[in-house]
C-alpha cells in the first residue's frame, strides 16, 4: 500500500484568503484524486489530478475555485481560493495502487471564519 502525507493537517483561515494543501506519496503513482468531506457528510470527488496536463474536474467544481497542480508522479497540490465558511471541510487526497485499490491521505481539516 502507498504511504500518503498531507500538509497542513489542519488550518483556520479568514474569509477571502486562499490555502494550498500538499499531498506527497512515497512511490510513483499514475492516478491521484482530491476529495472534499463536508461536516457530517460523505466524500465527494473534486477532481482527478493529471500529471503533465490540467486536472479533470467533477460537476460542481471549477478550476478557478480549486486550482490543482501535479508536477510529478509523487506530488500534488490543491488550492482552495477565495474561501468562505462553506468551504470548511476535510480535504483528502487519494491514489490508486495495485488492482485499482485506492488509498487515502490523513486529510486536511479546514475551518474558514
Binding residues (CB under 8 A) for other proteins: these are 1, 31, 33, 41-45, 48, 56, 90, 92, 94, 96, 99-107, 109
Considering beta carbons, is residue 58 or 63 the nearer one to other proteins?
A: 58
CB 40 within 8 A of CB 31: no
Tell me the closest approach of the beta carbon of residue 43 to other proteins, in angstroms. Answer: 5
Tell me the closest approach of the beta carbon of residue 104 to other proteins, in angstroms. Answer: 4
C-alpha–C-alpha distance, residues 22 and 79, integer Å: 9
Tell me the closest approach of the beta carbon of residue 68 to other proteins, in angstroms. Answer: 15
Tell me the closest approach of the beta carbon of residue 4 to other proteins, in angstroms. Answer: 8
Name the grid cell of 44: 465527494
Considering beta carbons, is residue 48 or 69 the nearer one to other proteins?
A: 48
CB 43 within 8 A of CB 106: no
Considering beta carbons, is residue 50 or 81 the nearer one to other proteins?
A: 50
Considering beta carbons, is residue 88 or 96 the nearer one to other proteins?
A: 96
Task: Give CA separation, 32 vs 13, 17, 53, 60, 81, in Å.
Answer: 25, 25, 13, 19, 20
C-alpha–C-alpha distance, residues 109 and 12, integer Å: 9
Amino acid at each position: 500500500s502507498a504511504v500518503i502525507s498531507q500538509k497542513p493537517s489542519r488550518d483556520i483561515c479568514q474569509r477571502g484568503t486562499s490555502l494550498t494543501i500538499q499531498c506527497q506519496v512515497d512511490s510513483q503513482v499514475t492516478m491521484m484524486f482530491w476529495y472534499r468531506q463536508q461536516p457530517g457528510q460523505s466524500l465527494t470527488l473534486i477532481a482527478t489530478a493529471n500529471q503533465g496536463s490540467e486536472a479533470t474536474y467533477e460537476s460542481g467544481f471549477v478550476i478557478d475555485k480549486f486550482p490543482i497542480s501535479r508536477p510529478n508522479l509523487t506530488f500534488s497540490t490543491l488550492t482552495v481560493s477565495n474561501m468562505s465558511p462553506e468551504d470548511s471541510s476535510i480535504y483528502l487526497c487519494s491514489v490508486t495502487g495495485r488492482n485499482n485499490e485506492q488509498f487515502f491521505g490523513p486529510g486536511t481539516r479546514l475551518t474558514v471564519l
